[in-house]
Structure 1
Amino acid sequence: MESTGNTAAATVAELVRARWGDHRTGLRFATGRLTHHQVAAGAAARAALLADLLPRRGEPHIGVLLDNTPEYPLWLSAAALAGAAVAGINPTRRGAELARDILHTDCAVLVTERAHLPLLDGLELPSVRILVTDTDAYAELLAPYAGAKPEIARTVTPRSRMLLYFTSGSTGAPKAAICSQGRLAAAGGSLVEHFGVRSTDTHYICMPMFHGNAVIADWAPALAAGAGVALRRRFSASQFLSDVREFRATYFTYVGRAVQYILATPARADDRENPLRVGFGTEAGAVDAARFEERFGVRLVEGYGSSEGGAAIRRAADTPPTAIGRAAPGDDLAVVDPRTCRECDPAEFASDGRLLNGSSAIGELVNRGRNPFEGYWRNEEAEAERLRGGWYWTGDLFYRDAEGHLYFAGRTDDRLRVDSENLAAAVIENILARYEGAAAVAVYAVPDPVAGDQVMAALAPPPSTPFDPLAFTEFLLSQRDLGTKMAPRFVRIVERMPVTATNKVARAALRAEAFRCADPVWWRAPGQASYHPLTGADVASLRAQYESQGRSELLP
């Protein structure tokens, strides 16, 4: 493997300093490029500025409220040299919630750009110094530090905080997970070895850098290997392939529905003419991964690592297509029933691959051994919940076969209970993803009028393709692994799947609206096999059923 990186570096700061004097192209973006040396020099100038801006007493934390501009990796590198931590601020947050994220993480400095200044209007941010990168004032502020060299602050150790990245949840304020310099450097080095990253590679970062995926799985291995980085300000499915070709990108990461959106773009005869070697991410699903490889000639590797670092799964050559892999070395992973803390039964499959014992096989993935979880910033209650009974609880549903392969079944709040049978949304989604009339699918629970849940699906058809209820019904009947409780009772037709800022399906919003939404909804009335439009009269009748059972409070 060709590499001029330092995959054994103990800190991110060492990796940044190692690029000093390297005059190969290190950073590509829409309007230009920088060499590795220029990136290191820019980081050194910003680190020197930070040394003067950060308070002598108080936490060395900076907030970064930017799109994927060159300033983002420059400030990550600067923070590493200065021994500061970067809190990635989500630009889709608003008002008091946005202010809360900045203040909760004790940011003394907030780095932003003019496009995001309206988000800060009216916010109370006492003692927060705001730097606006695309202004003359910012350039003047940096100018005196232009000759700085990448020196590592004396306070930097492998345990120094490097990232404070917010983990999303369906309820409550986001939690700021801690990632140290040592853990980030080790993660980058591990991915270099796993994927054979070379110094001649270019990593395409199109996922938002305020999220852990882009920094940990894309930027860190590029830095560790001395590879180049190419930035897309914001993800664009229509520009994905042209970017890849322009930047000569060989590696990219994805989350959520990004792969589905790329697949929904018009196919071209030359789609396979691209330099990509591999894509690494989560939740693409086996069906879409196969479609992506067939169309673009690029292998997608589905991985798993909890956002907080407490558990990881590695894919090997013998991993079944629909599985994620086995536990990473050193992890003692188990699938347990959270009510009893007992291990779930091994998964049993029919000859066609259908899971036969989902109710007893699906449980929460836990790590019973040592793990690198480094806690949440100022949130002891959340830490205790994550580390119940001395185990690390991932909050994710899995099932495990007799050979130890682990299969993702969704988040714990994506479990459905239909007619006393436990179902997992991800299992149903993987089946519905085969339907040619769906560019994207999300499955979630809506309350049943009497007890438990009913299955609802949001379906985004391909462009200019109307929903065909008869074809969808025939598709469902032909799926041998679709259990009798799995077929959706309600189908919401959306023009585009609602997603969070990190391109994960906004399930909380879908669940909250249920079948009382502005989009067209089709449904199967009890005892019927075919789908019909849900009318106002149907909604009134359903509401009466909920009221008669004393469950009307469950409706939004």
Structure 2
Amino acid sequence: MRGADTVAELVGRQWGDHRIGLRDEHHTLTHHQVAAGAAARAALLVDLMPPLPGGEPHLGILLDNTPEYPLWLSAAALAGAAVAGINPTRRGTELARDIRHTECRVLVTQRAHLPLLDGLPLPGLRILVTDTDAYRELLAPYGSARPGDARLGPVRPDSRFLLSFTSGSTGAPKAALCSQGRLAAAGASLVRHFGVGPDDVHYVCMPMFHGNAVIADWAPALAAGAGVALRARFSASRFLPDVRLFGATYFTYVGRAVQYLLATPPEPDDRRHPLRLGFGTEAGAVDAARFRERFGVPLVEGYGSSEGGAAIQRTPDTPTGAIGRAAPGDDLAVVDAGTGLACAPARFSPTGRLLNASEAIGELVNRGRSPFEGYWRNPEAEAARLRDGWYWTGDLFYRDADGYLYFAGRTDDRLRVDSENLAAAMIEHILARWDRAAGVAVYAIPDPVAGDQVMAALALRAGEVFDPEEFAAFLAAQEDLGTKMPPRFVRVMTELPLTATNKIHRVALRRASFLCPDPVWWRPAPGAPYEPLTPTAVTALRAAYAHHGRAPSPHHPDQAVSSGSRPARGSEGDDPARG
């Protein structure tokens, strides 16, 4: 099939195709019905937000993975609008900020998420609630629309299409831009790389506000004419039943989801399913091997971001623990951020331990033509990414003598929890409201399996003591504390460590992790009461880290950064019940 220049063209190709194109547990739509539904929504969209100077208008989507999500993505492509995926784990003023920053004129949501919007200052925003009679009545007059009938303006490859939130170490999340042409090209690239065809069915169980689901799952399905099956929120217990029900052959993941799947009770028919491939990030070598052994499905690890500034592709000869080599067209290098010079090739011990970390680890940069299209209304962040003609990823890597790349951490104070990048400063600003605290530092420590966990150091005011129940109640009362932000570990200190320039010594805090002389409180499970971290609990945690080839700190003496494991990189999802 000839390649497409835009997402709109791919949506239009579904017209007249009466094979099953989109399913969930309640709905079944043909490709033709998807195109027709997208055309109707595009016509409604044109009437709701006529064009204004300044390019494509913005539509916000605050939905679970219901059929309305891909229908509205398709509608925006046809109409020439851009979509901001709104994260439902954000809360209060921070959620309102995301919607206002991306200048959304219409927000598509569902009744379950309406409480998140109660009382938020969102002047002039038109809200469509998809699971209501009023919405169905509003859409009904547009039922005869065809793709291309209604447009807000020209639809070109460089038309803005996605605004995907990503966050760094400071400030509010940034909205990375993705054009129709880049998303169409990304889908076509994955089709070629994995041999995706029209008979495949892509199971989308990662949240669609995240680039993982849209770029790596929905876009290649659209490019190949494959079917799409949806799960509203990730569920480990429903994974295999869904795969069998929908005939799914391909899915995307991040590491936490893989962990949840492996935690389900083994069944004799675990290999009875049509899946042939999982594509994602951060599963870890140990869990990827366990997944293939149990389910008979290979997990192909990749590296990329919503920004699209650099991509790494895995090949069949990629060593265990490596991500792969630079994607075609990328000139990737691992450089010393201070000098800009290439770092030395990695050297390994016979057991795979990295021997020359200090000279081999550096920041991954793309020295060639970068597909990075910028951030919405954030020139400072763009300048930080594009320096000296290079795209700086903000991620640390090392490279072996054969050119294979291995992930080694981040260059700033980001935390990556359940595949979401969180800004430590934002969490600190919230925790600093607790009146018992004189100082707060928030930092990442490795999760035993993949990604990070949130740890906070609290310096208490003179005469104060740490009250775990009061602290938990304080956290629960903070409307802008997202579901991924509460600290799992709390270190109680008399004062925070400082550097010579009177900045918080985060390296020292991360190095100590929870293996420190100060009292540490922790939640054994998300949402559980805080309790003292006892020696018995520490022993159990050490065993969990060791089982997955990790350690409580990238800097701790227990840590062995090897070709068989990747340190501190995040994973998708939450508790399986929450998705």
TM-score (norm: length of structure 2): 0.76
Structure 2 CA distance for partners of 1:478 and 1:304, relative to 1, 3 Å: closer
Q: Partners in 2 of 1:95 and 1:484 — Cα distance?
A: 34
Q: Partners in 2 of 1:354 and 1:449 — Cα distance?
A: 31
Residue in 2 aligned with 1:146? 143
- Answer yes or no: is 1:116 the counterpart of 2:113: yes
Q: Partners in 2 of 1:480 and 1:176 — Cα distance?
A: 34
Q: Deviations over 1:2-56 (max 9, x none)?
A: xxxx461000001000000000000010112100000000000001111111133
Residue in 1 aligned with 2:513? 456
Residue in 2 aligned with 1:53? 48
Q: Counterpart amino acid of 2:8?
A: A
Q: Deviations over 1:417-448 (max 9, x none)?
A: xxxxxxxx99x77xx65xxxxxx674788889
Residue in 2 aligned with 1:391? 390
Give the match's secondary structure for 2:412.
Answer: helix
Structure 2 CA distance for partners of 1:359 and 1:444, relative to 1, 3 Å: farther
Structure 2 CA distance for partners of 1:156 and 1:272, relative to 1, 3 Å: same
Which of structure 1's runs of 4+ aligned residues deviate more than 6 A? 443-448, 457-461, 471-484
Q: Counterpart amino acid of 1:456?
A: S
Structure 2 CA distance for partners of 1:459 and 1:242, relative to 1, 3 Å: farther
Structure 2 CA distance for partners of 1:332 and 1:460, relative to 1, 3 Å: farther
Q: Which of the residues 35, 39, 46 maps onto 2:34?
A: 39
Displacement of 1:409 = 1.3
8 Å CA contact 2:282–2:451 kept in 1: the answer is no
Structure 2 CA distance for partners of 1:441 and 1:365, relative to 1, 3 Å: closer
Q: Counterpart amino acid of 2:253?
A: Y
Displacement of 1:488 = 6.0
Q: Partners in 1 of 2:332 and 2:216 — Cα distance?
A: 21
Residue in 2 aligned with 1:333? 332
Give the match's secondary structure for 1:407.
Answer: strand
Structure 2 CA distance for partners of 1:116 and 1:49, relative to 1, 3 Å: same
Q: CA RMSD in A?
A: 3.1
Give the match's secondary structure for 2:388.
Answer: helix
Equivalence map 1:40-439=2 (5 Å) = 40-58=35-53, 59-151=56-148, 153=151, 155-413=154-412, 433=449
Identity %: 70
Say which structure, 1 or 2, has more relative contact order (CA 8 Å, 6+ apart). 2
Q: Counterpart amino acid of 1:93?
A: R
- Paired residues in the alignment total 472
8 Å CA contact 1:444–1:456 kept in 2: the answer is no
Q: Deviations over 1:50-104 (max 9, x none)?
A: 1111133254110011110000000000000000001101111112111111111
Displacement of 1:171 = 2.9
Displacement of 1:277 = 0.5
Displacement of 1:170 = 4.0
Give the match's secondary structure for 1:239.
Answer: helix
8 Å CA contact 1:414–1:444 kept in 2: the answer is no
Residue in 2 aligned with 1:516? none
- Answer yes or no: is 1:13 the counterpart of 2:70: no
Structure 2 CA distance for partners of 1:234 and 1:443, relative to 1, 3 Å: closer
Q: Deviations over 1:167-225 (max 9, x none)?
A: 13343111011100000000000000000001011000011001111000000000000
Show structure 1 runs of 5+ residues with no match. 1-5, 417-424, 434-439, 490-498, 506-556
> 139-148 or 446-455: which moved more?
446-455
Structure 2 CA distance for partners of 1:368 and 1:473, relative to 1, 3 Å: closer
Displacement of 1:328 = 0.9
- Answer yes or no: is 1:503 the counterpart of 2:500: no
8 Å CA contact 2:39–2:75 kept in 1: the answer is yes
Q: Partners in 1 of 2:405 and 2:286 — Cα distance?
A: 17
Q: Partners in 2 of 1:375 and 1:237 — Cα distance?
A: 35
Q: Counterpart amino acid of 2:321?
A: T
Q: Counterpart amino acid of 1:252?
A: F
Structure 2 CA distance for partners of 1:280 and 1:455, relative to 1, 3 Å: farther
Displacement of 1:384 = 0.4
Give the match's secondary structure for 1:229.
Answer: strand
8 Å CA contact 2:281–2:571 kept in 1: the answer is no
Q: Partners in 1 of 2:194 and 2:549 — Cα distance?
A: 36
Show structure 2 runs of 5+ residues with no match. 416-443, 458-495, 499-504, 515-521, 526-534, 560-568
8 Å CA contact 2:14–2:31 kept in 1: the answer is yes
Displacement of 1:459 = 10
